[in-house]
Structure 1
Amino acid sequence: MRVPVRRMVAAVVAASLWAWPVAAPHPVVRPYLAPATPYSSGHRGIDIRAPEGAVVRAPADGVVHFAGWVVDRPVLSIDHGGGVLSSYEPVSTELREGDAVRRGQVIGTLVAGHCATACLHLGARIDGAYVSPLLFLGGQPRAVLLPLP
C-alpha cells in the first residue's frame, strides 16, 4: 500500500520533526528500503546503532498502541495521531497499551536481538503504509523535480 503524496506531506507536517529516540551519535547502520509491494521483501524502518541497555525515548507525543512480544523480541509502537505510528524493537518497556507518552519521555531500554551488534529498529507508518522514519527525523531530503532537457 502506498501513501498518497498529499497525505504523506500532511502527516509529516502535522507530526512535525521528531526527536531521535536514542542519544547521539545515532548512526543509521541499515537504511529504509521500501518494498516493491506491501508483501515483498524490504527493510521497513531504519536501524540505529546504540549500546545494549541504551535508554529509548519517545520522539513525539502519543499513545502506546502496542507493547509486547512479536515472534522473539519485545516491540513497542506509539500512535502519534493523524494516522502516524512509530515502532521500536527490540525494546523492553513497562508501558502498556493506552498509556500516554510525551516527547523525550523514556519509553524503554534497548535489548539485544535485532542486529549483529546492538541497534534500535525504528519504523514509521502513515495510514498503515510504511515510510522512512527519516521523513520525521529531518534526515530525508525532499525530492526535487527537474525540467526535461
Structure 2
Amino acid sequence: MLTGMSAAKITWCVLVALALTLVPASASATDAAPAAPHWRWPTSPPAAVLHPFLAPPGPYAAGHRGVDFAAAPGDVVLAPADAVVQFAGVVVDRPVVTLRVDEHVLVSFEPVTATADTGTMLTAGHALGTVARGGHCDGVCLHVGVRVDGEYVSPMLYFAGIPPAVLLPLQ
C-alpha cells in the first residue's frame, strides 16, 4: 500500500507514465513533427482496435510498432490523408503499401494488396488497396504503422484516438 500519496498524485503519476509510453525514447516534444489529428479511418468506422501501439524501449527491442484494426480480406483500405504512394509491394511474405504524407510522416499498411501504383497522389478517403491474407494476424486485421522522421509513433495520435492529457496541480 502506498503511504503519503494522495489519489490525485497517484493519478498524475499514472497519466505521466502512460504518456511516456506513447513517445519513442529518442523523440522530444520539440523535434517531432506536429500531429495531424484529423486523419480519416483507413477502414469503415468505427475502427475496432485489436492490438494497440506498444513503443519498444529501444530501436531494436521488441514492441508493436503500429495498431491492428479489425478487418477482413477484401476490405477496402482508404488513404487517411492526402499522400503519395511511396511503396507498393511485398516485404518478406506480405503485401505492404506505404504512403508519404509529408516530408516527415510515412504511414504503412499491411497486409494490403495495392490498387494504386508507386508515385500515385491520393486524396484522403481514396482507396489505396484491399486487405489481404497473411501478416502477423493472418487476415483478421489491418496493421497501420506511422513513422515521423524515421521513428515509430502511435498511429492513434493521427486518428485523434488519444484524448489530450490534462495535468492537474499537486495539492
TM superposition score normalised by structure 1:
0.90
State which of 16, 34, 41 in structure 2 corresponds to 1:11: 34
Cα distance change, pair 140–71 in 1 and its aligned pair in 2 (3 A) = same
- For 2:83, the equivalent position in structure 1 comes to 62
Report the counterpart of residue 123 of structure 2 in structure 1. Answer: 102
Q: Are 1:136 and 2:153 matched, yes or no?
A: no
Residue 18 of structure 2: aligned partner: none
Q: Which has the higher strand share?
A: 1
Report the alpha carbon displacement of residue 117 of structure 1 after superposing the two structures with TM: 5.2
1:134 counterpart SS class: helix
Residue deviations 1:34-70, cap 9 Å, x none? 0000110000000000121000000000111111111
Q: Show CA shifts across 1:77-110 (max 9, x none).
A: 1010040111000000132222111100000000
Match of 1:29 among 35, 42, 50: 50
Tell me whether 1:145 sits opposite 2:170 in the alignment.
no
With normalisation by structure 2, the TM-score equals: 0.79
The answer (yes or no) to whether the contact 1:11–1:82 under 8 Å persists in 2 is no
- Unpaired stretches in structure 1, ≥5 consecutive residues: none
1:116 to partner: Cα distance: 4.6
Task: Work out the CA distance in 1 between the residues paired with 2:72 and 2:91.
Answer: 22
For structure 2, list consecutive stretches of 5 or more residues without a partner in the other structure: 1-24
How many residues were matched structurally? 146
**Could you tell me which of 94, 100, 125 is aligned with 1:73?**
94
Aligned equivalent of 1:50: 71
Give the superposed CA RMSD: 1.6
